[in-house]
Amino acid sequence: MFPQVRLRRLRENHILRESITENKLSINDLILPLFIHEEKGTHEILSMPSHYRLDIETMLKDVEKLIKGGVKKFILFGIPKEKDALASGASAIDGIVQQAIIALKKNFGNNIYVLADLCFCEYTSHGHCGVLENSVVLNDETLNMSQKLALSYADAGVDMIAPSGMMDGIVSSLRSALDVNNYSSIPIMGYSAKYSSAFYGPFRDAAGSAPESGNRKGYQMNPANRLEAMREVDLDVAEGVDILMVKPALSYLDIIRDIKNKYDLPLACYNVSGEYSIIKAAAQKGWIDEQAVALESLLSMKRAGADLILSYWARDFVSWGITE
């Protein structure tokens, strides 16, 4: 007896197959991370092919090309010349991220959407994400520093703030500071479930943010934990977060789906540097089809429930000619 139900009937014609596609990937789904430094010129990031540390002038030329290619959303990471134990240069109005925000909004206005990552690991001499005392990052003291940093971003004209340090209470702390200072319209994208992951290695090369000693397991999440992620997300929602996020993405698709099943807030995920560089390295060896694997990996994040994806592949979308 032959089957009456044949699912292949809906797969064989490419026009019909495209019409009933459940999830679609667009360049509009992507947010491109940019690394901005205080040194002059462009410095190649060897562990992240096609990405560079940019100065302000080079950044503007780069972004102009990217906008023409369809990339509209960028998240900024700053690399200062000088660091100290208290990240004292992070909140300065002439800080590298603040100056980048001012330059981007001046040159591109509403044609660009600028997010600023809010953390201190790039600015501290010890490489941890806040005030360090006896090898422990102090939560509440770091919240006070974070409020000051958020306001400096807001003064510079940022469109959205994304706190990544995984301090308890960070969303409510920033929301309070922004609202009191007449910045109630600036949304917050929480790094709601950020895991202590081995996939961050190339980023730490790019941003110069590796801890001088120890690790970040005391404040970032244990990769073994699933239920704890929902507790973290619950807290961010209660504190007034505007967009949720899971970081990393590919190894945490179950977490993305768990969150999407529970909340109707916009959900982002961070397709982190290690996930990107692994594919790049394999492609350079000729072992895989780079574009096909990259697109499939991004599509898996959309299928899991992500609305937005922070991804280094946004730059490749432009070179591939993917404009929709």
Would you please indicate which residues are annotated as catalytic (active-site) residues? 194, 247
Instruction: Give the CA dihedral 82, 87, 93, 96, nearest 10 degrees.
Output: 50
Strand 73-79 with 30-37, pairing: parallel
> What is the identity of the amino acid at 46?
L
Phi, psi of 46 (to 5 degrees): -65, -35
Cα angle at 258 between 253 and 264, to 5 degrees?
115
What is the rounded CA–CA span in Å between residue 72 and residue 74?
Answer: 7
Before 202, cis peptide (omega within 30)? Answer: no
- Find, among 116, 123, 250, the residue nearest to 189 by Cα: 116
Neighbours of 308 (CB within 10 A): 21
Residue in the structure block whose two tokens are 């807001």: 154
